[in-house]
Amino acid sequence: MLPSVSILQQIGLGVLLVVVVLWAVGLLRLTRRGHHPARPRRAHRRIGAVPRQTGPGGPPSENVELTPAERAAFDDLVRQLTSPG
């Protein structure tokens, strides 16, 4: 025992160490399991892409006709955004 530390401080340190160890073990178990306990097991499966919203069960797709000036402005914008630098 350390002479300058009271028994209550030593007990507090022991309790704190036990809590830290339990927290670390719990965290490791959660990360190894790969999911949070509140989520169902199948929720961690990844979707490759967002599924299409159109089709028999979804809304119809929309189509907007652009004027030649709008098309030129859009092409200009795409060139600006995709050009390096």
30-79 confidence digits (pLDDT tens): 888 765 556 555 555 566 676 666 667 767 777 889 999 999 999 999 99
Q: Specify the pTM.
A: 0.38
Q: What is the pLDDT of residue 39?
A: 56
Q: What is the pLDDT of residue 46?
A: 62
Q: Give residue for tokens 């390096």.
A: 84
- For residue 39, the SS3 value is coil
pLDDT in tens, 1-13: 667 889 999 999 9
Residues 37 and 30: their CA atoms lie apart, in Å, by 8
User: Hey, what are 36's tokens?
Assistant: 């949070």
Residues 69 and 41: their CA atoms lie apart, in Å, by 52
Amino acid identity for residue 49 in this structure: A
Q: What is the pLDDT of residue 22?
A: 97
